[in-house]
Chains A and B, each alone.
Chain A
């Protein structure tokens, strides 16, 4: 089984409470099961009794995990609690136990074809997130960095990976790679941190550099963003916890914004389940709860405008808390381009 590769994680996490304060979903459900410890206990029971793999409660708990990565990042020994959950999801899929809703969603992301248009040395991949309707982000980026080719078509394999469809994910990734290769570009720029993470790990391409849009914007000709007033920054889990990419913060600093970190600390995830993006389709109620938590904090701490490098965060917040003013980092850049 795939989860057997994570026996060290199971043994470490099953009786460990040390990262519970950072369990993003548990913070809104209050549930013990939604913590790294809760997940490891489930894995351990499955390890001891393989028939438990079919336990519908366990399957649901593992699929609804937020995968923020805050716990792994906090962990003194960096135990890969995320890898364990992804391995379990893969085990469910391979045993034919994926819930019908999961399989149906996976199907949507399997038949993807990519096409490249435009001219330039860099290839921009704007696919925003699970729901592909945030054209304003790509428009903002392209208004600052116009001379690029654009690759479009859909998700490059990350969603399938998150759902546990590893083989299918690799097949889509191979198609994406072929399209990139055919474009002749050696640099791919992405706005979506989930794709950034995927293209730097499972979907990595030989000889191709992958950049987040903020890394490119850092070197663009931009003016001062001080006029935008106070901005409050919600980071992407994929950028902060998975890839340790600081470019969005560096960019905001360079633009001279008055920026404050959202929330009370630098470890919590406020990304509303970005780590497990398809969750917004499978368990919208849980996303709504995570958003409500962020919206409540925004109100208490009198947040005016939220800025984020994550299209998912913008999408989740504007869907479930339309009263919040949220800008993608590309939109901040576009507002101050010279």
Chain B
């Protein structure tokens, strides 16, 4: 039972927390609690928009070291109150929402860059650092993390680790789990542990990977060492228009299966080409827009580019050239700013799925047809973002321009669309999801996705977190 404000136990917990982090860093004021009640999940947004009472944490606590995190978790265990890590709050799955009140453990004071190692080409930093700030520090030293997500300005290193996030150059440089060498974690019972210092070893299962994607349910990641790269001498782009998504997908897959090494490929279906590409890049065409880029030594970039252009020319209906490729790169974040981004009063959701090349189009059509048939009021658009040797990610979206005004009705409709679309994806060989995580939004589907293997995850959770204090009710784990 959570302590009520103006109760002895509330004051006791507050006192203990202030002894750990100082008065300034335990907030109970309305401003800070309000800001911690809404992340990038559409449901708390609509909740707020309709004037409903925000679901706020009891305390917002800002620790500045792993030791302070450890003490906070010990207090939480003593009083059996939930702790929800909060990085930038930019997650789209409701992962950082303090659903049951308790402590919102905001990591943003853990923001130091600790070491840049030019010999091994790594950087070690605390995980509450905003990714853009980390990238700027690394760039000042002459390198880059090459982690360029659209949320680089708002999300933390720890948030990306917790959600297995990804950046626009993932095709060459990998997702965050490929970039991380090792990490420090405070376990739910308050132990401060370190994973092995290198990511390739044969010393048993890899703990670094276990904590990647754990969404604050298995502890708080407090430090991480990640790879850094030289700034490439050249980075070049090229864009093509294909008659339809299938043609573009075949070309994109061929770039990957011929083992060229693009740093990025992005393919927009006809609907998104007509809507977003037109709006942001000003290209008014019927068809599917495909853009790709290479970076590194200029001679190698040019050679790979030549080969990639040859592949696309075989089936493209228009060569949009390098300018329309460069323009996409230059405006790549613009899609995410208002008014270019979807926003209320619209209802919208990013149906992030990943599958092999053999399955990915079936996943797309399975989702699209399911949404179209059952929800004629919804528009379905999609692009394919992160490409691998074996398949790619589908960044599909549904949009409803005028969802019901009543919050309960709107949320019910929203949940229903998600359910139908995601189950269609799983049925066609898709995995939810590629980089947004599970959170509150998709927790209910985890058992279906994993089957009996989910018991393994539950076992790990119960062992590490016997009092279920860490982010309860998320990722399909038990709530309070």
- Cβ-defined contact, A41 with B38, below 8 A: yes
A76 CA to B335 CA, complexed, in Å: 10
A42 and B31 contact, Cβ closer than 8 Å, known pairs A17-B153, A18-B153, A18-B154: yes
- Cβ-defined contact, A17 with B34, below 8 A: no
Q: How far is the CB of A84 from the nearest CB of chain B, in Å? A: 14
What is the size, in residues, of chain A's interface with B at 8 Å between Cβ atoms? 40
Interface centre among A15, A17, A49, A61 (most CB of B within 10 A): A15
Q: How far is the CB of A261 from the nearest CB of chain B, in Å? A: 10
A11 part of interface (Cβ distance < 8 Å): yes
A49 and B51 contact, Cβ closer than 8 Å, known pairs A41-B35, A264-B140: yes
What chain B residues lie within 8 Å of A60 (beta carbons)? 29, 31
Q: How far is the CB of A181 from the nearest CB of chain B, in Å? A: 43
B36 part of interface (Cβ distance < 8 Å): yes
- Interface positions, chain B 29-63, Cβ under 8 Å from A, are 29-32, 34-36, 38, 40, 45, 48, 51, 60, 62
A126 CA to B281 CA, complexed, in Å: 47
- Interface positions, chain B 267-306, Cβ under 8 Å from A, are none
Q: How far is the CB of A94 from the nearest CB of chain B, in Å? A: 21
- Cβ-defined contact, A16 with B89, below 8 A: no
What chain B residues lie within 8 Å of A31 (beta carbons)? 27, 31-32, 35, 60, 62, 106
B30 CB contact (under 8 Å) in A17, A21, A57: A57
A79 part of interface (Cβ distance < 8 Å): yes
What chain B residues lie within 8 Å of A264 (beta carbons)? 133, 136-137, 139-140
- Interface positions, chain B 133-171, Cβ under 8 Å from A, are 133, 136-137, 139-140, 151-155
- Interface positions, chain A 159-198, Cβ under 8 Å from B, are none
A20 CA to B95 CA, complexed, in Å: 19
- Interface positions, chain B 318-369, Cβ under 8 Å from A, are 333-334, 336-341, 343-344
A104 part of interface (Cβ distance < 8 Å): no
A32 CB contact (under 8 Å) in B106, B111, B133, B339: B106
A75 part of interface (Cβ distance < 8 Å): yes
What chain A residues lie within 8 Å of B25 (beta carbons)? 30
B436 part of interface (Cβ distance < 8 Å): no
Interface centre among A21, A29, A75 (most CB of B within 10 A): A21
B101 part of interface (Cβ distance < 8 Å): no
- Cβ-defined contact, B337 with A77, below 8 A: yes
A32 CA to B109 CA, complexed, in Å: 12
A303 CA to B334 CA, complexed, in Å: 35
- Interface positions, chain A 17-45, Cβ under 8 Å from B, are 17-22, 26-27, 29-33, 35, 37-38, 41-42, 44-45
A18 and B31 contact, Cβ closer than 8 Å, known pairs A264-B136, A264-B137, A264-B140: no
Q: How far is the CB of A283 from the nearest CB of chain B, in Å? A: 12
Give 23 A-B contacts (CB < 8 Å), ordered by A residue.
Answer: A11-B338, A11-B344, A12-B338, A12-B339, A12-B343, A15-B38, A15-B40, A15-B343, A15-B344, A17-B40, A17-B90, A18-B153, A18-B337, A20-B88, A22-B153, A27-B111, A31-B32, A32-B106, A41-B34, A48-B51, A55-B30, A60-B31, A77-B339
6 closest A-B pairs by beta carbon, nearest first, are: A17-B154, A32-B35, A30-B108, A33-B31, A264-B136, A12-B338
